[in-house]
Amino acid sequence: MKNKFILATGLFIASLAAANVLFITPTIANDAVSKKVTFRGKPAPLTAFQKRRLPPGAKNPPGRELNAVLSLPAGKGPHRAAILIHTCHDANFYQPWVKRLNSWGIATLSFSRCQPPDFKPMNANESLEWREGSATAYAALNYLALNPAINAKSIALIGWSRLGMVPLSVLNREGEYQFSKVKFAAAIAINPFCGFAGGPHQAPILVISAGHDDWVDPKMCEKMAVLTAKDPNPVKVKVIKNVYHGFDIEGFGKTHFSEKEINVDGYPAGGGTLGYNEEARNIAIGLVKLFLDKHLSGSK
């Protein structure tokens, strides 16, 4: 398996080089300033049905208050930014990504759907796709866009695993996209569930999947790339061969099968294989950096 991976990785790196994609050996600066913040979504506009049935002046309730960590990189802004929606694993699992993005001059607002005081997943058993995900992403976007240190026109959304569904939903013009004056400039999903996502999308999307993923099907992501190929913003899908779910997260350690660790967000799903892989992680870093440098305007 190791020799097969090395061969596949070498071929993949060669193809990236031919396409002018960066392969990066990570170096992470740690001079960003981080602080805990809270934000809340605005009430969703009333639907036509609600307007007919509710009394004048009625409004939907505001979104749930969420806790997040805002990290601003060194240097003078306004900065490019990325909103990170991660799984309910320990937030330290995603700190290397936060620090990496900050070292590239990108501010981050990071949070999971496991919130205090009980740190239980929001709507885990009610909806496979985290029903509040898209609305919450736009609540975070509108909160971040008000910060004078942030370039409001240069904010991306990044999500992992099943929460990778959120970056695939926020750019559909029929959804929450239509209600927000502030728009995402780009979105990235790493090891996402792609089965439900459809275009046309209103900004560029990058999907990075693990070829041996047995928890979410990478073939559905490849199918999505084909189905959106003629859209104004076709979804770019990169499948890294011979690696498993969570290959970019050091905290998952060696490859192993898991029933609970892989599913801390409480989805109605069985177990799967987790496994960190340094070479594949470095490929993903190069893809992410190239994508953000291309689609987020401002200082780089």
Higher pLDDT, 264 or 292: 292
Given a cut of 70, whether residue 14 has pLDDT beyond it is no
Candidate ranges 59-68, 243-252, 290-299; pick with highest mean pLDDT = 243-252
Domain ranges of the chain: 2-42+62-114+127-295
- Assigned fold of 2-42+62-114+127-295: Rossmann fold (3.40.50)
Is residue 248 scored above 60 in pLDDT?
Answer: yes
DSSP class of residue 191 equals S
How confident is residue 31, by pLDDT bands cut at 50, 70 and 90? Answer: confident
- Return the half-sphere exposure (C-beta side, CA atoms, 13 A cut-off) of residue 245: 24
Phi, psi of 36 (to 5 degrees): -80, 140
pTM for the full predicted model: 0.84
- Alpha carbons 50 and 59: distance in angstroms, whole number: 9
Rounded CA-CA distance 277/263 in Å is 19
Distance CA 201, CA 182 (A): 16
Q: Give the mean pLDDT of 203-229.
A: 95
17: left (phi over 0), alpha (psi -120 to 50) or beta: alpha
Distance CA 136, CA 39 (A): 9
List the single range of 36-40, 246-250, 273-277 with lowest mean pLDDT. Answer: 36-40
Residue 22's pLDDT is: 44
Mean pLDDT of 105-121: 83
pLDDT band at 1; cut points 50, 70, 90: very low
| DSSP calls for 50-102 | HHHHSPTT--PPPPPPEEEEEEE-SSSSPEEEEEEEE-SS-GGGGHHHHHHHH
DSSP 3-state percent helix, strand, coil across the chain (nearest 5): 30, 25, 45
For position 28, what pLDDT does the model report?
A: 55
Query: 44 versus 201: which is more confidently predicted?
Result: 201
